[in-house]
Homo-oligomer: A and B are copies of this chain.
């Protein structure tokens, strides 16, 4: 059994756990597969981080992946082509002004998009318009407020708070994961089911220590250093102390916890 095996995993997913990136992708995606012939909208595909998994897990479905940024789409196209996947079409589009007819898609898939949007509820309403009645929407988001670790460190929480506040200042919500249930329901979807996807990391899972604690989460927080200092949110010494404390959780006796949330719901008939 794989080191990073997650309790409750589809055993088939395990065969795809080639590296840490795949382990995390599978934690989020293992239970998403669309039937043959279905047309699926991926809204906010970015550089295609989820697109290859989506296309691979639903080889007989057609995926339309949109993003507002042309540069991201170029990167996503290259990624999908490099993976030899032919069931994805890319199109530049704003989620608030989708260039599709009403009820065009059998299913909608959204991952790490709502956290960046000033009006997530309106985005869900737009996505609902282009979805066929009876079709499903799948929404996956993280929640930085779900982070905790050992050894504990107030400085680390202060550093994380900088990222959360910067994202809020940009109109987003880095803690949106926990809100998926009320959001998706308020947007008028039925049969909303939310499941948390917790990433638990200790030194018995070395690929997650390196791939998630160090290179994903801590690197992301470290990446806002300049912006946080420029906005005078924190003293540089305190920020650096927080980053050191986060790296400290990746040591032999450290533990790191983070939770993603996945919502699946239906558009009423």
12 A–B contacts, CB within 8 A, in A order: A145-B148, A146-B148, A150-B178, A150-B179, A150-B182, A178-B255, A179-B255, A181-B203, A182-B202, A193-B204, A195-B200, A196-B257
Q: Is the CB of B194 within 8 A of A200?
A: yes
Given contacts A178-B148, A178-B149, A7 and B195 within 8 Å (CB-CB): yes
Question: Is A175 interfacial (CB 8 A cutoff)?
Answer: yes
- Nearest-neighbour CB distance to chain B for A256, whole angstroms, equals 9
Question: Is A198 interfacial (CB 8 A cutoff)?
Answer: yes
- Nearest-neighbour CB distance to chain B for A145, whole angstroms, equals 5
Which residue of chain B has its CB nearest to the CB of A182?
Answer: B253
Of A7, A9, A203, chain B has the most CB atoms within 10 Å of the CB of: A7
Given contacts A7-B8, A148-B146, A196-B198, A204 and B178 within 8 Å (CB-CB): no
Q: Is the CB of A200 within 8 A of B204?
A: no
A7–B7 CA distance with the chains assembled, in angstroms: 9
Given contacts A194-B202, A204-B192, A185 and B253 within 8 Å (CB-CB): yes
Q: Knowing that A146-B257, A181-B203, A195-B200 touch, tell me 13 more A-B residue pairs with CB under 8 angstroms.
A: A8-B9, A145-B152, A150-B178, A150-B179, A150-B182, A152-B175, A178-B257, A181-B253, A182-B254, A186-B253, A194-B200, A194-B255, A196-B198
Interface residues of A in 176-193 (CB under 8 A from B): 178-179, 181-182, 185-186, 192-193
B-binding residues in A (CB < 8 A): 7-9, 143, 145-146, 148-150, 152, 175, 178-179, 181-182, 185-186, 192-196, 198, 200, 202-204, 253-255, 257, 259
Q: Is the CB of B192 within 8 A of A200?
A: no
A196–B192 CA distance with the chains assembled, in angstroms: 24
Given contacts A178-B255, A181-B255, A196 and B200 within 8 Å (CB-CB): yes
A181–B150 CA distance with the chains assembled, in angstroms: 10
Given contacts A8-B7, A146-B148, A152-B145, A259 and B198 within 8 Å (CB-CB): yes
Residues from chain B with Cβ under 8 Å of A150 in the complex: 178-179, 182
Residues from chain B with Cβ under 8 Å of A178 in the complex: 148-150, 255, 257
Of A149, A186, A204, chain B has the most CB atoms within 10 Å of the CB of: A204
Of A146, A178, A253, chain B has the most CB atoms within 10 Å of the CB of: A178
